[in-house]
Amino acid sequence: MGFVYLALKNMLRHRIRTGLTLLSIVVATGVLFAVVSYDRSFSAALEREMQNTGVHLNVVPTGCPHEAASLLLHGSAVPRVLKKEDLAAIEEFLGERAEKVYPMLIAQAQNMSMERLDVVYGLDRKNMPDFKPGWRLVQGEFPDSAQGVVLGFSKAQASGLQPGDTIEYQVRGRLQEKIPPGDIQSKLGALERSFVPEPGFVLEFEVSGVLDKTGTQDDGAVFASLAAAFLMLGPVEGVTAAGVRLQAPEQSRSTARDLESEFPGIQAITPDNLLDTVTGVVHSARVLSFSMVVLVVVVSAGGVMNSILMTVFQRTREIGVMRALGASRMDIFRMTLAEALILTIAGGFLGILTVSAAAPLIENFVGMFLPYIPQGLTLGFDPLVALGCLAFAVVIGCLAGFYPAFKSSGISPVEAMRN
């Protein structure tokens, strides 16, 4: 305890230098804790979002993998489509391996009331209730007409809409006649034949239901019938993508390889593929973050070492007197090392507490630079990460304080008094 008291007393004699050194440790530990916590939270949120897609394969036209990831996660419109003939051939090829195939038309439609673009997912109305196992309606019901829509939880809150309200979208045309029931190929064919181009035409849709909160991109989306999405996209000769739910999910990779071999014009993406693609997109940001951590830690360790060395040089005579009064070299070594450890442990605690308190601000700031942010991402406090960062701070303190402690323990009493 005597060594700790002496170390604290010496640090208080040089408050400005001690404060600046402590600040560098707070920054280093805080940055390390923030980067590691955010990386772990990002991976967990991304895996959770992949599991909530409700399908085991996503079949899209051949193109850039990053474009496909954007299509499936953000609902970006892609000019290429799966033609209805290809869709029929894919369904036939899958046979009993597929529990269900969900054709999708993904459109970005102009919301006239809010003057913004909405992401609209067009699905076959009869398949909409079981499209995703986790879907629950908090209000209303799934649409029973082509002009009914279901809103995601966040979308409904932001727009202030509820079942029975109407929403206007600008579409690219209208239908001459009502589309008769039938299989998806006949419906797509009927849509193509009945479509009449009419740029700037505004169509009114009724909100039939509101989804419960999912913590995914679904919360901000609009779900409509295939006919509605077809009108928003214009005359297309197929679908944007097809989700496949397999009887045996563990066969997703082998089924994807079989599909790509049989149909050269498509790519079959599993949740694992999508996870790898998005992880690759953010890899550069992750490397940059960890590079910044290394730089900050090196600067912080240098600051600690410089601060302790300055203390040793200023206290040479004092250390000589202590040696003359009976203090051993090990006593001087422990006292000097204790000062470094106190600085780094205190800085580590403060850095972790600061980042935990500023978590929402950090999330918003980092979100401005990452190309993709999964829904439900929060910078939570992980005790294991906190302990690891604190242990790292202690190691830095030991390394930074070892040389000054060794140098101070080697001071000769006679030489110290003479100088």
pLDDT at 281 over 70: no
Section 324-342 average pLDDT: 77
pLDDT at 394 over 60: yes
pLDDT at 191 over 60: yes
pLDDT at 418 over 70: no
**Gap between the Cα atoms of 296 and 307, Å rounded:** 16
| pLDDT tens column, 54-98 | 677 888 887 544 444 454 444 444 446 788 888 888 888 888 888
Q: What pLDDT is attached to residue 314?
A: 64
| pLDDT tens column, 359-379 | 778 777 766 665 555 655 667
What's the pLDDT band for 277 if we cut at 50, 70, 90? low
Tell me the pLDDT of the chain averaged across its residues.
77
Outline where DSSP puts E strands in 212-335. 222-225, 238-239, 241-246, 266-269
pLDDT at 208 over 90: yes
pLDDT at 106 over 70: yes
Q: What pLDDT is attached to residue 205?
A: 92
| pLDDT tens column, 291-323 | 777 777 777 777 777 776 676 666 667 667 777
Percent of the chain clearing pLDDT 90 (strictly above): 6
Outline where DSSP puts E strands in 247-379. 266-269
Q: What pLDDT is attached to residue 370?
A: 58
Rama region for 194: left / alpha / beta (φ>0; ψ in -120 to 50; rest): alpha
Q: What pLDDT is attached to residue 74?
A: 47
| pLDDT tens column, 131-190 | 887 788 999 999 888 889 999 988 998 888 999 999 999 988 888 888 777 777 788 888
**Gap between the Cα atoms of 179 and 162, Å rounded:** 27
Tokens standing for residue 307: 């601060």
